[in-house]
Amino acid sequence: MPARYPAPDLTAFASALLARAGLETDKAGTVAEILVEGDLLGHTTHGLQLLAAYLGEVEKGNMTRSGEPSVIADFPAAVTWDGRRLPGPWLTVRAIDLAVARAKINGTCTVVIRRSHHIACLAAYLKRVTDQGLMLLLTCSDPNLGSVAPHGGRRAVFTPNPVAAGWPTEGDPVMLDVSMSITTNGLINRLRSEGRKLPGPWLVDADGRPSDDPAVVFTNPPGALLPMGGVDHGHKGYAFGLLVEALTGALAGHGRADPKEGWGANVCVQVFDPALFGGRGDFIRQSQNVAAACRATPPRAGFERVRLPGESGLRRREAQLAQGVELYAGIMPALAPWAQKLGVDAPAAV
């Protein structure tokens, strides 16, 4: 049976490692919270799987350890920060808090961040907004990297460029987190290290031939991930990927046209307060009507029932809070050398 760990113990462990590595205490705590939230929701490539890499970035000085973002622009409903390569989860939570406060005054607020470090699992930020009866749109890109080919191409141009959104209903919120590529870099790296193949031809090799072998991304010249929709319908993911580039790098005024700085992110956070639009009550009435209609749809063969985006993740979160978090097999072994080096005791399994 896989080992399980109490979520608070994992958060304390991750926070202690990051603080010992040099992050300010509040930053270490926020990063740890977001990483564990990713695992609680079942996003195992974007939870504590990232912690060893983050610790390496702190150690090398590639992640800024202290301080605040620089303000580039500040209007009532439009804010731009230079993140100064500070920890991405901490910057994103700060941006969300600001956007929430201003959306309650202006109806909406958008915060864009240039030069953030990596921001982990986008779904991990949604519930903190939907629990307040608000709606969040969150997206990011990494202008320093290219791993996804444009539709019809065979060389990488941009990153998976995920889009996440959450909004309330009468019951559970709707929570989506979707990459604009057919798969993620995290999964490609994991499967390559384990010698496994993808479920289908989600990549192209350097000659443009579809492939299910993660190794084709690491050749010279490299292959690339296909956009969401794959070989046949990749024009859709390609188009949405370009939209993310506009919402992140273009709005922030800093991106692929600028010198590379290393693993990082440009981020766009937008919060809506339904109370200042058509009214909170009517927003819930409409969102609940659509949610109920989807759930009531007769399932087709192979499906037990129709679910809403985020539903299985929320059930998984509830179960793991009660029974312990089931970490992917390689995560704790990867953190063991860091725990020994930094003098932090690993949590005991349940």
pLDDT tens by residue, 204-236: 999 999 999 999 999 999 999 999 999 999 999
Segment 4-54, tens digit of pLDDT: 999 999 999 999 999 999 999 999 999 999 999 999 999 999 999 999 999
Domain ranges within the chain, ordered by starting residue: 4-177+187-285+310-342
* Tokens describing residue 236: 């859709």
Residue 1 pLDDT greater than 90, yes or no? no
Question: How far is Cα 79 from Cα 113, in angstroms, rounded to an integer?
Answer: 9
Q: Which helix (H) or strand (E) holds 15?
A: helix 7-21
Residue labelled with tokens 């370009």: 242
Of 5, 31, 6, 35, whose CA–CA distance to 18 is shortest?
Answer: 31
Q: Structurally, what CATH architecture does the domain formed by 4-177+187-285+310-342 represent?
A: 2-Layer Sandwich (3.30)
CA distance 335 to 344: 10
Question: Cα dihedral sign for 114, 116, 120, 121?
Answer: negative
pLDDT reading at 244 higher than 90:
yes
Percentage of the chain exceeding pLDDT 90: 98
Q: 152, exposed or middle or buried, with CB in 10 Å at 0-12, 13-18, 19+?
A: exposed
Confidence class for position 275, pLDDT limits 50, 70, 90? very high
For every residue of 136-157, DSSP letters joined together read EEEEEE-TT---BPPTT-SS--
Mean pLDDT of 125-149: 97
Between CA 230 and CA 210 the distance in angstroms is 9
With b meaning 16 or more CB within 10 Å and e meaning fewer, what string describes 313-326?
bbebbeebeeebbb
Q: Report the distance separating Cα 110 and Cα 80, nearest Å.
A: 8
**CB 139 within 8 Å of CB 273:** no
164-187: pLDDT as tens digits: 999 999 999 999 999 999 999 989
Q: Is it true that the peptide bond before 221 is cis, omega within 30 degrees of 0?
A: yes
